[in-house]
Amino acid sequence: MAGSKKIGVLFVCLGNICRSPLAEGVFRHLVIAEGLEKHFLIDSVGTSSWHVGEPPDERGREAGLIAGFDIGGQRARKITNKDFEKFHYILAMDQTNIRNLRQRVPEEHQNKIDFLLNHSASGIQEVPDPYYGGVDGFQNCLALITEGAEGLLETLMVKYFPDHRP
Ligand code: 4NP
Each of the 166 residues of the chain gets a pLDDT tens digit; together they read 545 699 999 999 999 999 999 999 999 999 999 999 999 999 999 999 999 999 999 999 999 999 999 999 999 999 999 999 999 999 999 999 999 999 999 999 999 999 999 999 989 999 999 999 887 899 999 999 999 999 999 999 999 999 987 7
Handedness of CA 103, 105, 107, 110 (dihedral sign): negative
> What residues are labeled active site?
13, 19, 129
Total of domains in the chain:
1
Q: Is residue 46 part of a domain?
A: yes
Q: Is residue 97 part of a domain?
A: yes
**Are the C-beta atoms of 16 and 44 separated by less than 8 Å?**
yes
List the domain range (segments joined by +) for residue 71: 7-160
Ligand 1 pocket: which of 11, 12, 18, 79 to mutate (most atoms within 8 A of CB): 18
Domain at 39, CATH number: 3.40.50.2300
* Residue 158 to residue 145: CA distance in whole angstroms: 20
Residues, the chain: 166
Query: Atom 3 in ligand 1: which residue has the minimum CA distance?
Result: 14
Note the pTM of the prediction, 2 decimals: 0.96
Measure CA of the first residue to CA of the last residue in the chain; give whole Å.
Answer: 16
Q: Is residue 165 part of a domain?
A: no
Give the three-class secondary structure for 132. Answer: coil
| pLDDT for 36 | 98
Q: Is residue 166 part of a domain?
A: no
Q: Is residue 1 part of a domain?
A: no
Q: Is residue 66 part of a domain?
A: yes
Q: Is residue 126 part of a domain?
A: yes
Q: Is residue 65 part of a domain?
A: yes
